[in-house]
Amino acid sequence: MPGFFIVNFDTRQLPWESVDHLVIGSGIAGLYTAYLLSRSGRGVVVVTKKMVGNTATERAQGGIAAAIGTSDSPLLHLQDTLRAGAGLCDPEAVRILVTEGPDRVRDLVGMGTCFARTDAGFALVREGAHRQRRILYAGGDATGAEIQRALCHQVRRLNIPILENHFVVDLLVHHGQCYGALVLDETTGRLVAFRSKAVILASGGAGQLFRQTTNPLVATGDGIALAYRAGAAVTDLEFVQFHPTVLALPEGCTFLISEAVRGEGGVLRNAAGEAFMARYHPDAELAPRDVVTRAILTEMKATAAHVFLDVTHLPADSLRRRFPTIAQTCAGLGLDIAREWIPVAPAAHYMMGGVQTNVHGETAVADLYACGEVACVGVHGANRLASNSLLDGLVFGGRIVERILARPAGWRAGPEFACSELRAAGRVDYVGLRTALQDQMDAHLGPIREPSGLEQSLRFFERYDYLQRCAAPDPEAMEVHNLLQVGALVTEAALARRESRGGHYRTDYPEPRECWRKHLIFQRASRNEPAD
Contacts of 454 (CB under 8 A, 6+ apart): 444, 445, 491, 494, 495
Helix axes 389-405, 143-157, angle to 10 degrees: 20
- Identify which of 261, 259, 382 has the alpha carbon closest to the alpha carbon of residue 310: 261
Q: Tell me if 231 sits within 8 A of 345, measured CB to CB.
A: no
- CA 393 from chain centre, in angstroms, equals 10
182 and 172 in contact (C-beta within 8 Å)? yes
Distance CA 444, CA 494 (A): 10
Give CA–CA dist 368/178, Å, rounded.
Answer: 6
Residue ranges with strand state E in 176-233: 177-185, 190-201
Q: For 216, what's the count of Cα atoms within 13 Å in the CB-facing half-sphere? A: 16
Q: Measure CA 49 to chain center.
A: 15
> Contact 207/341 with Cβ under 8 angstroms?
no
- Dihedral Cα 317, 318, 323, 325, nearest 10 deg: 30
Phi/psi for 177 (5° steps) reads: -125, 135
Q: Quote the CA–CA distance of 66 and 390 in Å, as a whole number.
A: 10
Pairing outcome for strands 240-247 and 44-47: unpaired
The yes-or-no answer on residue 12 being catalytic is no
Starting at the edge strand that comes first in sequence, how are the strands of the sheet with 135-136 ordered?
64-65, 135-136, 124-125
Please list, in sequence order, all residues whose beta carbon lies within 8 angstroms of the beta carbon of residue 119, skipping any fewer than 6 positions away.
none
Q: CB under 8 Å to 315, separation ≥6 — which residues?
A: none
Sorted by sequence, the CB contacts under 8 Å of residue 126 that are 6+ apart come out as: 132, 133, 134, 135, 263, 286
Are 24 and 203 in contact by the 8 Å Cβ rule? The answer is: yes
Cα torsion through 135, 137, 142, 148, rounded to 10 = -100
> How many CB atoms neighbour CB 341 within 10 A?
19
Q: Of these residues, 289, 294, 384, 399, which one is catalytic?
A: 289
Residues taking part in catalysis: 289
